[in-house]
Amino acid sequence: MRTVCFYFQVHQPFRIKPYRFFDIGEDHYYWDDYLNRNVVRKVAQKCYLPMNALLLELIHKYEGKFKVAFSISGTCLDQFEAYAPDVLQSFQQLVATGHVELLNETYSHSLAALKSKEEFSELVKKHQDKIKDLFNGYTPKVFRNTELIYSDQIGAMVADLGYDAILTEGAKHVLGWKSPNYVYSNAINPDLKVLLKNFRLSDDIAFRFSNKTWADFPLTTDKFVAWLNAIPKEEQVVNLFMDYETFGEHQWAETGIFEFMRHLPEAILKGSNFSFSTPSEVAKGAAAVSKIHVSTPISWADEERDLTAWLGNDMQDEAFDRLFELERMVKKIDDVEIKRDWEYLQTSDHFYYMCTKFFSDGSVHEYFSPYDTPYDAFINYMNVLSDFILRVKAKLAETEKVTV
């Protein structure tokens, strides 16, 4: 089996509104509805709607020979329901073709796998339920953790939840001389297949496509197929994993990114011996060549492919630790708004905005952040968290008083 596996991440966080120190104890609503709606509608027009229409066209044109997979975060699905029902409907149409696979992740795009097995499992179950509710009973078989974060222990947790496979980064420092173009298995539970992103070919599309200083600019379908054909024949699977916003948002329509994707399936199907498969098809159809050992968590972010985009400095660690100190208290409280805010505050983006990395990856972090500086992001988040702590303690005291 020589196959290409396209996977797209679809995610939008609930961004926090400007929240001052003087709002603590006075204002208990944290979310910037105006900004969130505007971002979703903008990306819908530039990416989601035109790209979904193109994929639907390609799936019909090639009668199911072209396939893709998505993981759509729960926070994104919530915003589709609130601000972009037309986008949600277009994803539902894609899934209804039977040639688009949906993956599970944590509902709130959380980093819970690094802190709490219980919270991680609850968020995964909530995402399962949301997918089942919105997509006609669909039940995913493959898991994609937030930011492709993976370790042996995280893989074992995912295996315990009943998944067939997990996606992660083909990090050089983990693979060494090995290739990402094979199926591997979890080091603790070998029943879980591990699919690794081919970061070079993925990033050629996601990051370098419009870079005129890139030695291989412009990227054409013929050139891309030639690279696929140059892969040793014993290497069976090329996993192309990327943010869905690559199409139209990060790489504007004017770059030719949509036309590239329009012609890529035909170029691959006619010009190579590669087919297209979904992650579950890859996991089912290819045997694992060996276990992959990942003792320290990896991700798909930055040059290091580690956790430092989210948990790399004192601000990030302080915010993350303070948030999860509340877990036991929150679980004792039966309150819809507190539960919602607890989950939305876990979204990885909030910690990403606090990143102080510079040099090669600094501009990428600035591009995604609504804040002027990482310090502004930290202060705003901690102001909100301070109010949330007061609410949790007050609600818990009220709950315990009623119980007594």
The single residue of 105, 119, 147, 249 carrying the catalytic annotation is 147
Give the Cα separation of 173 and 177 in Å (integer): 9
CA 181 to the chain's CA centroid: 21
Number of CB atoms found within 10 A of residue 14's CB:
25
User: CB of 88 within 8 A of CB of 80?
Assistant: yes
**Residues 360 and 305 sit within 8 Å (Cβ to Cβ):** no
Apex 75 CA angle, 70 and 79, nearest 5 = 95
Contact 355, 371 (CB under 8 A): no
147 is catalytic: yes
SS3 assignment for 54-86:
HHHHHHHHCCCCCCEEEEECHHHHHHHHHHCHH
For residues 115 and 268, the answer to whether their CB atoms sit within 8 Å is no
Among 349, 4, 338, 11, which Cα is nearest to 181's? 4
Catalytic residue list: 147
